[in-house]
Amino acid sequence: MASKTGKILVVDDNASIRQTLQLLLPMHFAKVETIASPTTLIATVGTFKPDVVLLDMNFKTEVNTGNEGLYWTRELKAIAPQTEIVLFTAYADIELAVEGMKRGAFDFIVKPWDNAKLVSVLTAACDKAQGGTSRQAKKTAEPARSKAQTGMFWGASEAMENIRRTVEKIAPTDATVLITGENGTGKDVMAREIHARSSRSAGPMVAVDAGAIPETLFESELFGHVKGAFTDAHTDHAGRFEQADGGTLFLDEVGNLPLHLQAKLLRAIQSRSIVRVGGTQPTPVDIRLICATNMNLAQLVREGRFREDLFYRINTVHIELPPLRSRTADIVPLAERFLAENAVKYHRPLTGIDEGAQQLLTAHRWSGNIRELQNCIEKAVIMSEGTLLTMSDLQLNPLKQNDFSPTSGFYTDADEEEQVRLAVRQCRGTVSAAAKMLNISRPTLYAKMKKYGL
């Protein structure tokens, strides 16, 4: 894995923000330092020599310029013009951003921030500060890497490293991709990663839960309709294929489509054109197709439940995401990432996870995979009282795993039906609780219950 480069100096008087960024940024950059006041900014820049300064715009100091961030931008650029500045503010003021740019700032980030965008902006600023040398060389070897800050965590497992190499090869192409894996393994995140690394990244990415669309609305949702096509069609409507034109269409839960709808989807994919409901003229669509499912489509083909021609059409490249329990070395780093995000979201002064909690996290089965871990850490952050997450914050029983803990996800119809029936029975028919147990949406569970006559 490529070594990290770039030196970031964070200047912010909020201790929680400094602690969170001290946890987040070292995942992406070689060195990170934080200071609480701009009064020591010039001296710190002289000794630390950062590539980028992430500079808060509002401090309680003696400076009285209307905005201290603008003042210190001008001062810093005067003595260290090679250092790039990213302004950091809680107020989304476009005029202020423009003024900051005029004084030499590289870019502008609004609090509360999006981690992916923050890292992306700081990476670009480092590239500029370093003259585009080391990072530019990486861009040649890793196409669109700087654009791919979509939240994908590759980790250290061999399986994920192999997947990463595959993604780097296929993302710049228009090859159709099928992503499989258990619920909660991050299939939607992987789809966004592929889109972000592609030549279509500037275009839209339209995601559709294919299994949750009612059969009566399937054609209208995917292909659109013209005014008057049916009772409630008061205006023309562009379907998801048209909305994704020039970009990527992500069809999730594709394994849940009934056969007659699979045929309609196949025609659109083969012809790369659609006809709106009530219309007569075909409309060409330029899309890159990514599909995902937690089912074994090859098995469904053998059982006559999924069209073989559609299977081969959507399976040009197959990526299977491993369950979290097979990536134990990645559990704590993932948890730390979720901690950093939620510490900012909920204003908690958390700086890490203590040793006991780390051991408990690693030992837990995580039948719901990354999604379950993310929910666990979010709840723990909310309940925390100190600066480190503890075992009691996690609220995980080390001696008892969930009764519902599938070992291989929904990969056969028999397994799926058994697990759906078990969840519904254990939740006494409460659909929302059963959907949560299965880590699927309520509409998807309704579709499965209808499929199995529940």
Task: Give me the pLDDT at residue 402, please.
Answer: 42
Residues 6+ apart with CB under 8 A from 260: none
Q: What span, in angstroms and rounded, lies between the C-alpha atoms of 285 and 193?
A: 22
DSSP count for the chain of H helices, then E strands: 20, 14
Q: What span, in angstroms and rounded, lies between the C-alpha atoms of 190 and 167?
A: 9
Task: Give me the pLDDT at residue 69, please.
Answer: 80
Backbone angles phi, psi at 387, to 5 degrees: -100, -10
pTM over cut 0.85: no
Q: What stretches of 181-227 show up as alpha helix (H) in DSSP? A: 187-197, 218-223
Task: Give me the pLDDT at residue 179, please.
Answer: 97
β 283-284/273-274 pair status: antiparallel
The mean pLDDT values, 10 residues at a time, for the chain of 454 residues are 81 90 93 91 90 86 58 86 87 61 81 86 91 44 34 85 94 96 94 94 92 85 88 85 95 93 94 91 94 95 96 96 93 91 86 91 91 92 90 70 40 64 72 73 82 82
Q: What span, in angstroms and rounded, lies between the C-alpha atoms of 370 and 446?
A: 23
Q: What span, in angstroms and rounded, lies between the C-alpha atoms of 203 and 235?
A: 25
Task: Give me the pLDDT at residue 175, please.
Answer: 95
Helix, coil or strand: residue 310? helix
Output DSSP code: residue 199: T
Task: Give me the pLDDT at residue 407, please.
Answer: 37
